[in-house]
Amino acid sequence: MTALRDIELTTITGEATTLGATGGDVTLVVNVASKCGLTPQYSALEELHRRFADRGFSVCGFPANDFAGQEPGTEAEIAEFCSVTYDVTFPMFAKVVATGEDRHPLYSELIAQQPEAAGDPESYRERLRGFGLTPTEAPEVLWNFEKFLIGRDGSVVARFAPQVTPDDPMVISAIEAALSA
């Protein structure tokens, strides 16, 4: 098992880093996209980040263009969009691939540690099929805004399907439990 906090990453502004450098003992990793129907989740992600930051929590956004080309922008365009549209202050990273053979090592490890998402991912798969889209199959990341919660010990303690909003009681409860551990 690879230590999640030690996997090499690149910030959205091009600096080398790791999750260990984000300052969050408890971290919510989210694959994000600017042109998705779920994009308004950025607001609730920012609210979570601000609400729990003083307790050792951080949201970390990973733009991915894996799903219907919904994150086509450059890192600079993504950073500007997040800042101007949603006042995002949580750490953002360079674009990654979250699915398939070219999947970033971070996502390979997240999936290995938590292959199943809470929040009825099957109903979301059916919804995507209804739009004429071909969804990924488990354990792959299903769509934009899938969430992985990493606990203080550096392991994945929860995974939430894309349609589970950041302010859902299930997510809040998992964050509070991880912060109390």
Residues belonging to the active site: 36
Task: Render pLDDT for 74-131 as a digit per residue (tens, 0 to 9).
Answer: 999 999 999 999 999 999 999 999 999 999 999 999 999 999 999 999 999 999 999 9
| C-alpha span between 18 and 25 (Å, rounded) | 13
Residue 23: its pLDDT value, please? 74
Provide the total of helices (H) and of strands (E) in the chain, helices listed first: 5, 6
Q: Name the CATH topology of 4-180.
A: Glutaredoxin (3.40.30)
Cβ count near 176 (within 10 Å): 14
The reported pTM is 0.96
Indicate if the pLDDT at residue 177 is higher than 90.
Answer: yes
The share of the chain scoring above pLDDT 70, in percent, equals 99
DSSP symbol at 120 = -
Residue 2: its pLDDT value, please? 62
Task: Render pLDDT for 123-170 as a digit per residue (tens, 0 to 9).
Answer: 999 999 999 999 999 999 999 999 999 999 999 999 999 999 999 999
β-bridge mates for residue 92, sequence order = 61
DSSP symbol at 92 = B
Task: Render pLDDT for 10-41 as a digit per residue (tens, 0 to 9).
Answer: 999 999 999 988 877 999 999 999 999 999 99
